[in-house]
Amino acid sequence: AGGQGGPREAARSARSNRVLGRFLGVMPAYSAADDALTTKLVTFYEHQQDPSVPSHQAVVLLFEPRSGALKAILDGTVITAKRTAAVSAIATKLLKPASAEVLCILGAGVQAYSHYEIFTELFTFKEVRIWNRTKENAVKFARSVNGPVQVCSSAQEAVTGADVIVTVTTATTPILFGKWVKPGAHINAVGASRPDWRELDDELMKNCVLFVDSREAALTESGDVILSGAEIFAELGEVLKGTKPALPEKTTVFKSLGMAIEDTVAAKFVYDSWSAGN
How many H helices and E strands in the chain? 10, 13
Q: Give the DSSP per-residue string, 23-91.
A: EEEEEEEEETTTTEEEEEEEEEESS-SSTTS-SEEEEEEEE-TTT--EEEEEEHHHHHHHHHHHHHHHH
Q: Which domains can be identified in the chain, with CATH numbers?
A: 8-78+262-277 (3.30.1780.10), 81-258 (3.40.50.720)
> Which 3 state secondary structure label does DSSP give 216?
helix
Cβ-in-10-Å burial (0-12, 13-18, 19+) of 144 comes to exposed
The pLDDT-based confidence of 259 (bands split at 50, 70, 90) is very high
Note the pLDDT tens digit of each residue in 233-253. Answer: 999 999 999 999 999 999 999
pTM strictly above 0.75: yes
> Which 3 state secondary structure label does DSSP give 156?
helix
Q: Are strands 36-45 and 22-31 parallel, antiparallel or unpaired?
A: antiparallel
pLDDT on residue 8: 45
Averaged confidence pLDDT in the chain: 91
Note the pLDDT tens digit of each residue in 181-198. Answer: 999 999 999 999 889 999
Buried b or exposed e, range 3-35, using 16+ CB within 10 angstroms: bbbbbbbbbbbeebeeeeeebbbbbbbeeeebe
Rounded CA separation 268/272 (Å): 6
